[in-house]
Amino acid sequence: MLVSATDMLQKAEAGHYAVGAFNLNNLEWTTSLLRAAEETQSPIILQVSKGAGAHMGGFKCNALMVAEMLKSQHMTVPVALHLDHGTYEGCLAALDAGFSSIMYDGSQEADFETNLKNTAELVKLAHAQGVSIEAEVGGIGGTEDGVTSRGECADPEECKRIADLGVDFLACGIGNIHGVYPDDWEGLQFDVLAAIKEAVGHLPLVLHGGSGIPDDQIKKAIQNGVSKINVNTECQIAFADATKAHFASGEVDKPKGFDPRKCLKPGFDAVCDKAKEKIALFGSEGKGWN
Ligand code: 13P
């Protein structure tokens, strides 16, 4: 059964480790991530962006797929299905579809007051269904149309105002960005992280753009209150690299080598291995149900 992400993240915050939130890209991707969680006995958050959700048949299809896989893969560790960067309407659709966790990305709104008002409404709706909710303060940068923007840092006072609405975990910009980090990236802003943690107390914090951040910075972020780390790009790169190598090896030209279940398997195994590597780095190995 899918669970809300609240309990697993409160335990992570208290235990000074983080739970990986891995984006889904298709059915086999989901299988690989669940396998990684079960083999490491780690809780896991499977998250779906609007675009990937549509690619996989829509939110209802996503929720049914994951719920059925929990049974067919005999999962024994806690699994949450989370909406990544939802709009207000997207959150309503994910709640209706049976997601066990949602993110309302109010940083997309024109002003902070709209973010505050919509977050307050969605906290009530989510909690009425036993669903956990993540909010966001301060934009997460990234590359769009070839232009890379620097990650915007969140204002600790705004974080406190959003935290006081009763959200279960909070995404806050601390210089992190989505996608591949540029060579001149300045690193995570630990002074900002410390000020936010001071303002919000034990509320679990979320680090978006978890791909490509040096391991020492990841560990320091976890020690300073980050309890959920989002990873997508590194899994995608692992898939692409393994798939390219397999096609270059000539295996695809052997009898039945063209079967997609065969020729894409090395890529999906690489996603599983990458997720296991991250789970070990984040310290959530063996923390299923603890
Ligand atoms: P990356 O693709 O940079 O790992 O970021 C994932 C993410 O933050 C999804 O919200």
- What spacing in Å lies between the alpha carbon of 187 and ligand 1's midpoint? 16
| pLDDT single digits (tens) 81-104 | 999 999 999 999 999 999 999 999
Mean per-residue pLDDT, 148-171 = 90
Rounded Cα distance, 66 and 31, in Å: 9
Q: Which residue blocks in 42-183 are alpha helix, DSSP H? A: 50-55, 59-72, 88-97, 112-128, 156-163
The closest of 290, 285, 251, 263 to 41, measured between CA atoms, is 285
Cα 196 off chain centre by:
20
Q: What are 62's two structure tokens?
A: 């996503």
C-alpha torsion sign, points 264, 266, 267, 273 = positive
- Whether the per-residue pLDDT at 233 is higher than 70: the answer is yes
Under DSSP, the state recorded for 141 is B
- What spacing in Å lies between the alpha carbon of 234 and ligand 1's midpoint? 9
Is this structure's pTM higher than 0.85?
A: yes
Is pLDDT larger for residue 150 or for residue 283?
A: 283
DSSP 198-260: HHHTTPPEEE---TT--HHHHHHHHHTTEEEEEE-HHHHHHHHHHHHHHHHTTGGGSTTTT-H
Under DSSP, the state recorded for 138 is S
Closest-lying ligand 1 atom to the alpha carbon of residue 84: 10
Cα 111 off chain centre by:
25
Q: State the pLDDT confidence band at 145, using cuts at 50, 70 and 90.
A: very low
Q: State the pLDDT confidence band at 147, using cuts at 50, 70 and 90.
A: very low
Residue 108: its pLDDT value, please? 84
Q: State the pLDDT confidence band at 280, using cuts at 50, 70 and 90.
A: very high
Three-class DSSP category at 57: coil
Q: What are 95's two structure tokens?
A: 């709640």
Minimum CA distance residue for ligand 1 atom 9: 230
Share of the chain above pLDDT 70, in %: 97
Three-class DSSP category at 148: strand
Residue 152: its pLDDT value, please? 81
Mean per-residue pLDDT, 69-76 = 98
Residue 143: its pLDDT value, please? 58
